[in-house]
Structure 1
Amino acid sequence: MKFKFIAVFSLTLVCNSMSYAQVLTLKDALDRTVNQYDKIKAKQQLVSASTQNTAFQKQQYLPDVTFGAQQSFGTINAQNGPMYAYGGLGSAATSMPLAEQNWNAAFGSLYFANVNWNIFTFGKIKNQVELGIATEQKTLADLDQEIFQQQIKVSAAYLNLLASQRVKYVQERNWERAKVFFEMTDARAKSGLIPEVDAQLAKAEVSNAKSLQIKAYDKELEFSKHLAVLMNDNFKTFQLDSLYNTSVPLKAINQQTVDVAKHPYLQFQQREIDESVQQTELLKSNKRPNLSAFGVLQGRGSGFDWNYVQDNSAYSNNYLKGVGIDRGNYLLGLSFTWNVTQLFRFNTKVKEQNYRTQSLQYQFDAQQKELNVAFGQAQAQLQNAYNNFEETKVQVDAAALAYQQHTALYKNGLTNLVDYTQSLYSLNRAEIEYEIAQNNVWQALLLLAAAQGDIHVLVP
């Protein structure tokens, strides 16, 4: 028996420890959504992709180096006259023109190494690299603003869940009071001190209180699901931090103005503008010429001898004779190219991109003004939330005192059931208003954080 008691006691301690360890703080919830939410993971991959694109653009400074080898078998009949290779396809038969067609065939080979280096592009490659960097910065800012928006959503869901849990707690207390009231009324009705109908009405109040508790629990389950989805977690009933239902933020934000330009969403829009400006610079550089250095090293082999034109029997169809290197050539030079019609073509594209940049700038200005207005509104709402919370304290104290008085009066038969029930309703309503008002202070601080662009206002 003693062993069973120890086992049950130990199990209780373990369960209590596990329950305590499973308290979900708001900071933990924010960290989970950053690490687990799929949309954030997707944008993290886009950041990695843009980083690789920037590295690729930097590699454009390297020269093109091409190695090739070709081995073929065929005839080399040639003829004087012009030839145009449609679509760039053609056949090269290197021989002096022969008097008549023949079908002598031998192996041939070509080995080469080509180098082409754009040594001066008048800003093309530089602007491509700068555009890659601008795109990388934009995707990083997009990730930051996505994280911020997701954290705001999680914070709102967290506070909503906490409010629903507190309402459920109030309804549980109301149910307990209704049960005590029914037990008292039932005992007096059985003693013949009050009519039996009073006991039935008290029983109905117990049922109504229980129904309100069940409905409050439904709301808790709904907000638990919402929070779990935002954290990409399994559904469960979360045990939340008691800080947000036992206190309010002690220090209100007294700033009259704030630099909303640092807001993550505005930072993202600014990076879009920067990318568009850099795109304009790249388009401008396409109007400029290009200076390249090139070099070619070739080795050729052929199964046809040097005197094949004079002696058509001077060839061999031996593979090894045709695939060796008999002649070599090299070529070095500079190439300066400038498509002057690009000056006219890209003027239109530059104008188009300038219009896009202006559009993005107008969007940025509009959003900045909206955030400034939202910040002012959030400050006013936060002050109102403080004031309303103080008023609910008065309501709870007054309703609790009225309930105590009516309880004493009803026990002594000095008041009726209607007045007692009204005091019960008033206390229940006042307690709910108190919990909602306390939660609204944190909700107002969340609005301030959302407008200011700094979640640390809510979670230090």
Structure 2
Amino acid sequence: MFNKIAFYGITSIFISFYTVNGYAQQTLSMKEAVSLGLQNYPAVKAKANQLNASKAYLSETRTEYLPNLNFSGQQDYGTINGTNGPLYGYRGGNVASSGPALASQNWNAAFGALYLTNVDWDFFAFGRAVEKVNVQKKIVARDQNDLNQELFQHKVRIAAAYLDLLAAQRIVKSQQDNLNRALELRRVVVARVTNGLNAGVDSSLANSEVSNARIALTNAQQTAQDRNSQLVQYLGVTPRQFALDSVFVTGVPPNTDAASTVSLQNHPLLQYYQSRVNVSDNQAKYLSKLAMPTFSFFGTFQGRGSGFSPGVTATAPNDYNDNYGSGVDPTRYNYLLGIGVNWNFTSLFRVHYQVKSQKYTSMQYKDDYDLITQQLVAQQALAEIRIGNSLKNYREAPIEVKAANDAYVQKGTLYRNGLSSIVDFTTALFNLNRAQIDRDIAYNNVWQAVLLKAAAAGDFGIFINNLQ
């Protein structure tokens, strides 16, 4: 996963600049690009909002231990006919009318009221509430680490895209120089063919070289545009062309063997994967508490009013007052306090398998952690090798360019004097173009290798501190 995310653009592993278009061609430094991308990139903003949501839910989780305190009141109008017989309040389909069982239906109606204050509190559940808070704390820590690793990886993405674009722009320049040389070659060839000094086929070969150079330039320009588009995306800005810092093509990092100040276990990506394990472990602890009984405290205080007087009986069914005020004014009060326990014994069996499943999830996350650790160790070793090889190429590139340029000048002089063939001249042209591209890439590859080392070590300072 890390090689797919953190190193997209480095060998194609691993930008809002100023919002005013007039500044689009100002030089964009690496540090400005990184700062801009971290501010604007939607994925970073999404991770930050995810963290804020987790923090808010943690605050809510802490309040779940508080007792439930409910206030309710109702005022009704109706009859109070009672009857003898069993009844179950199935799905709430019952009217709680209290009155004597009369010999026949009575339609006398009056007002009644009920005012209720109720409190219930699960005051002891063997640490269930505490464990739920602990789980949410770990989730907050996980989301914080997720944001940190996203910030780190996005720094690497931006730096890699910046270097890729810079290399592509340099290759465009080299291909433009190559086209200019091909045009000069054709001018010389046409002049010699026109004067009868060379065969007409030389003109065809020269025209072929010009077309080939134009195609190579177009392809290089398209590659540069693709790299520019990628950088625009990472910076979170509207499409524009960037002028980049030339420091990456005029020199190499002064300190390619800098040691990391971050230990492997503190790598942002590993911290995120470790936090996933921590969340799962705490979820297993919380689930185990669900099998334990819950001890609750409850209390109720109620006031009740009725338009029917206490004297309503089967022989005096009309002893009531249908006045609204008489019915809704409470005249009787009751309170109740108690402690209860609730334990679903069969939950022991269900929770056992839930905990077992969660522990396997923790093992899965631990295996993911071990995999990323192995990849990072391998990438650290690879980065050191790349740095060494890129420095070798960096030292050889000027030698190659000088030799190729000397050969091109010599072959051009010989051809103009009829002492060399067009094939020798075009070969020298090709070699010089290849040497210049090798030079453009050699400088860039040293910076890319140091960036790879920084990404593998989890310490972006290894790369960015070389720009001090």
In structure 2, distance between residues paired with 1:59 and 1:47: 19
Q: TM-score, normalised by structure 2?
A: 0.87
In structure 2, distance between residues paired with 1:141 and 1:240: 32
1:126, CA displacement in angstroms? 0.9
Contact 2:299 2:336 in 1 (8 A): yes
Q: How does 1:225-374 map to 2 (within 5 A)?
A: 225-253=229-257, 259-309=263-313, 310-374=315-379
* 2:88 is the counterpart of 1:63: no
* 2:129 is the counterpart of 1:125: yes
1:280, CA displacement in angstroms? 0.9
Change (3 A) 1:21 1:225: closer
Which amino acid letter does the alignment assign opposite residue 70 of structure 1? Answer: Q
Partner residue, 1:106 = 110
1:340, CA displacement in angstroms? 3.3
1:337, CA displacement in angstroms? 3.1
1:102, CA displacement in angstroms? 1.4
Change (3 A) 1:198 1:349: closer
In the TM superposition, what whole-angstrom CA distance separates every residue of 1:241-296 from its partner, at most 9, and x where no partner exists?
Answer: 21211111122236599733222222221111111111111112222232322221
In structure 2, distance between residues paired with 1:248 and 1:287: 63
Which amino acid letter does the alignment assign opposite residue 392 of structure 2? Answer: N
Where does structure 2 lack aligned partners over 5 or more consecutive residues?
1-20
Identity of aligned residues (%): 38
Query: Which deviates further from its counterpart, 438-447 or 399-408?
Result: 399-408
Partner residue, 1:215 = 219
Q: How does 1:9-48 map to 2 (within 5 A)?
A: 22-48=26-52
Contact 2:138 2:275 in 1 (8 A): yes
Partner residue, 2:10 = none
Change (3 A) 1:364 1:204: closer
In structure 1, distance between residues paired with 2:352 and 2:228: 57
In structure 1, distance between residues paired with 2:346 and 2:423: 93
1:432, CA displacement in angstroms? 0.7
Contact 2:261 2:459 in 1 (8 A): no
Partner residue, 2:100 = 96
**Which of 386, 393, 404 pairs up with 1:381?**
386
Contact 2:387 2:450 in 1 (8 A): yes
Q: How does 1:438-449 map to 2 (within 5 A)?
A: 438-449=443-454
Which amino acid letter does the alignment assign opposite residue 374 of structure 2? Answer: K
In the TM superposition, what whole-angstrom CA distance separates every residue of 1:375-429 from its partner, at most 9, and x where no partner exists?
Answer: 1112112211111221222211211222233344445554443333322221111
Which amino acid letter does the alignment assign opposite residue 283 of structure 1? Answer: L
Which amino acid letter does the alignment assign opposite residue 82 of structure 1? Answer: P
**Which of 146, 154, 157 pairs up with 2:150?**
146
Contact 2:262 2:459 in 1 (8 A): no
2:464 is paired with a residue whose SS is coil
* 2:405 is the counterpart of 1:400: yes
1:61 is paired with a residue whose SS is coil
In structure 2, distance between residues paired with 1:19 and 1:182: 40
In structure 1, distance between residues paired with 2:356 and 2:150: 31
1:362, CA displacement in angstroms? 1.6
Partner residue, 1:84 = 88
Query: Which deviates further from its counterpart, 329-338 or 236-245?
Result: 329-338
In structure 1, distance between residues paired with 2:260 and 2:155: 25
Query: Which deviates further from its counterpart, 64-73 or 86-95?
Result: 86-95
1:351 is paired with a residue whose SS is helix
Contact 2:72 2:116 in 1 (8 A): yes
In structure 1, distance between residues paired with 2:45 and 2:288: 36
2:451 is paired with a residue whose SS is helix
Partner residue, 1:159 = 163
Contact 2:401 2:432 in 1 (8 A): yes
2:236 is paired with a residue whose SS is coil
* 2:435 is the counterpart of 1:459: no
1:101 is paired with a residue whose SS is coil
* 2:427 is the counterpart of 1:426: no
Q: CA RMSD in A?
A: 2.6
In structure 2, distance between residues paired with 1:418 and 1:281: 78
In structure 2, distance between residues paired with 1:348 and 1:420: 78
In structure 2, distance between residues paired with 1:69 and 1:383: 81
In the TM superposition, what whole-angstrom CA distance separates every residue of 1:35-54 from its partner, at most 9, and x where no partner exists?
Answer: 22223322222222111111
In the TM superposition, what whole-angstrom CA distance separates every residue of 1:157-208 from its partner, at most 9, and x where no partner exists?
Answer: 2222211111111112222333344445555666666666656654553443
Query: Which deviates further from its counterpart, 164-173 or 324-333?
Result: 324-333
Which amino acid letter does the alignment assign opposite residue 87 of structure 1? Answer: R
In structure 2, distance between residues paired with 1:213 and 1:420: 20
